[in-house]
């Protein structure tokens, strides 16, 4: 019996910064870690989203019970079947991002899938963080999720091949907000705290706009490398270090940004805008409140107006998603019909072998060469008769032919 996506038990728990605060998204990610190395689940975590994809009603040889998924926070969405499939493809294409077509989510999906392919480790958490790291553990992934994410990656690559101009990222949106608060970046010095993927994008953006990036990072070597790559300089990192005079600050770290009391007072008293790309926020709630409107969180950026998509391009995206959806559904149908195809082929082979055995008993005078010729003829005959029916079953779009085959041949 064929099994469309809605019957696979495929479920996506979707939380995005537009509707779910950072702390609640991180709580979902922590709860999803309890799924461990179960091949039926995969969690995507970025600064704007935490999404859990799971085959909630599926079992595997090593797991005989259905998954227990974490509770969904207020504002989150539970997508099932084809709705979950279509959402992932839209995410991979960059259609669900603040910057339509941005590259970071595609990198994240690819890195996350690659991490799951690394076998032989212990303690794998089943999720991938924005910096491309993952826990360690069994790399096995259920074939349905594997195929789903592979198609999603193809969608992402295809969508980005249509790009006209230079790629924009969330870091560019952050710099837009900095410029809205202080004026053009050109000629100004901006502090970038963090030298990971997003910190690098911010530093490169500052350089492109004619600014001078000042890099602060826990690893002095990574800070020096990024500063060298962007024509910037480095600033010390740590709670005992003084804060340099800067015109704007971009935070892109995975931990709290701890400052000495004097630096805290300096930040509060200054007019320096701060954009925090971290999730959870790099500044504590008390300091965020004291900064007021000068502080912009990653959630604030998520609620920015999304890029406009020209109608012609939107239709092209829709066709791409339709094609990918059809490809996945066809794969699911083909995968589910394989047992029927195998059963029909085995049924035909059993009947062929019985008839050949009966013939040889009735014609004992046949020598070995003649018997081999009869065997070859019977195999070619059965293969020829089955070729068209099996090919048709493989392309069965509704499952009706599969059910008919099982009924007709009692398989």
196 pLDDT band (50/70/90 cuts)? very high
119 pLDDT band (50/70/90 cuts)? very low
On average, the pLDDT of the chain sits at 87
What is the structure's pLDDT at 397?
A: 67
Give me the phi and psi of 375, to 5 degrees please: -60, -50
Take residue 337 and report the two structure tokens written for it. 């019909």
Task: With a cut of 60, say whether residue 127 has pLDDT above it.
Answer: no
Across 106-110, 203-207, 388-392, 397-401, least confident range: 397-401
58 pLDDT band (50/70/90 cuts)? low
Across 135-144, 332-341, 346-355, least confident range: 135-144
Q: Can you tell me the mean pLDDT for 368-393? A: 91
- Cα angle 105, 109, 111 (rounded to 5 degrees) comes to 110
Across 125-139, 227-241, 338-352, 368-382, least confident range: 125-139
What is the structure's pLDDT at 393?
A: 83
- Yes or no: say if 254 and 131 are a contact pair by the CB < 8 Å rule: yes
Look at 262 and 87; give whichever has higher pLDDT.
Answer: 87
Look at 406 and 226; give whichever has higher pLDDT.
Answer: 226
Task: With a cut of 60, say whether residue 62 has pLDDT above it.
Answer: no
Give me the phi and psi of 248, to 5 degrees please: -165, 160
Q: Could you tell me which residues come within 8 angstroms of residue 123 by beta carbon, excluding any fewer than 6 positions away?
A: 135, 136, 137
What is the structure's pLDDT at 335?
A: 79
What is the structure's pLDDT at 92?
A: 96
121 pLDDT band (50/70/90 cuts)? very low
In angstroms, rounded to a whole number, what is the distance separating the alpha carbons of residues 394 and 396? Answer: 6
Beta-bridge partner residues of 233: 214
Q: Does residue 381 sit in helix, strand or coil? A: helix
57 pLDDT band (50/70/90 cuts)? low
Q: Can you tell me the mean pLDDT for 103-121? A: 78
Task: With a cut of 60, say whether residue 67 has pLDDT above it.
Answer: yes
Task: With a cut of 50, say whether residue 272 has pLDDT above it.
Answer: yes
In angstroms, rounded to a whole number, what is the distance separating the alpha carbons of residues 153 and 78? Answer: 22
Orientation of helix 170-182 relative to helix 197-208, angle to 10°:
50
7 pLDDT band (50/70/90 cuts)? low
- Yes or no: say if 88 and 153 are a contact pair by the CB < 8 Å rule: no
In angstroms, rounded to a whole number, what is the distance separating the alpha carbons of residues 292 and 283? Answer: 12
Look at 310 and 191; give whichever has higher pLDDT.
Answer: 191
Across 52-61, 241-250, 265-274, 353-362, least confident range: 52-61
Q: Can you tell me the mean pLDDT for 212-238? A: 94
In angstroms, rounded to a whole number, what is the distance separating the alpha carbons of residues 100 and 238? Answer: 35
What is the structure's pLDDT at 34?
A: 87
Task: With a cut of 60, say whether residue 52 has pLDDT above it.
Answer: yes
What is the structure's pLDDT at 296?
A: 97
How far CA 330 is from CA of 151, 152, 239, 398, in Å, comes to 12, 15, 56, 10
4 pLDDT band (50/70/90 cuts)? low
Q: Could you tell me which residues come within 8 angstroms of residue 166 by beta carbon, excluding any fewer than 6 positions away?
A: none
Strand order in the sheet with 49-55: 77-80, 10-16, 49-55, 41-45, 127-128
């Amino acid at each position: 019996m064929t099994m469309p996506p809605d019957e696979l038990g495929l479920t996506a728990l979707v939380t995005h910064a537009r509707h779910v605060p950072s702390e609640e998204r991180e709580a979902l990610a922590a709860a999803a870690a309890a799924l461990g190395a179960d091949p039926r689940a995969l969690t995507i975590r970025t600064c704007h989203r935490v999404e859990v994809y799971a085959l909630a009603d599926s079992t595997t040889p090593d797991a005989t019970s259905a998954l227990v998924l974490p509770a969904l926070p207020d504002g989150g969405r539970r997508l099932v079947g084809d709705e979950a499939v279509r959402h992932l493809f839209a995410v991979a294409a960059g259609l669900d991002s603040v910057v339509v077509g941005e590259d970071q989510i595609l990198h994240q999906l690819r890195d996350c899938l690659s991490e799951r392919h690394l076998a032989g480790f212990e303690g794998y958490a089943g999720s991938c963080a924005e910096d491309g790291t993952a826990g360690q553990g069994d790399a096995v992934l259920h074939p349905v999720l594997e195929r789903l994410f592979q198609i999603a990656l193809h969608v992402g690559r295809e969508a980005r091949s249509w790009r006209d101009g230079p790629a924009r990222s969330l870091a560019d949106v952050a710099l837009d907000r900095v410029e809205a608060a202080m004026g053009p970046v050109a000629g100004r010095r901006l502090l970038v705290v963090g030298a990971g993927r997003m910190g690098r994008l911010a530093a490169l953006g500052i350089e492109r706009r004619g600014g001078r990036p000042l890099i602060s990072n826990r690893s002095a070597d990574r800070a020096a490398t990024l500063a060298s790559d962007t024509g910037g300089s480095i600033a010390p990192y740590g709670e005992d270090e003084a804060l340099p005079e800067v015109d704007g600050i971009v935070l892109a770290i995975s931990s709290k940004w701890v400052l000495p009391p004097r630096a805290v007072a300096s930040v509060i008293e200054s007019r320096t805008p701060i954009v925090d790309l971290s999730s959870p926020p790099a500044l504590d709630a008390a300091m965020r409140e004291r900064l007021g409107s000068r502080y912009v969180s990653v959630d604030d950026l998520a609620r920015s107006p999304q890029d406009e998509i020209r109608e012609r391009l939107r239709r092209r995206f829709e066709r791409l998603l339709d094609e990918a959806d059809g490809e996945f559904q066809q794969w699911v149908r083909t995968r589910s019909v394989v047992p029927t195809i195998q059963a029909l082929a085995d049924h035909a082979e059993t009947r062929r072998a019985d008839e050949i055995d009966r013939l040889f008993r009735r014609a004992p005078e046949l020598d070995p060469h003649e018997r081999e010729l009869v065997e070859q003829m019977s195999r070619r005959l059965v293969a020829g008769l089955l070729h068209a029916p099996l090919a048709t079953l493989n392309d069965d779009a509704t499952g009706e032919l599969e059910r008919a085959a099982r009924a007709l041949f009692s398989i």
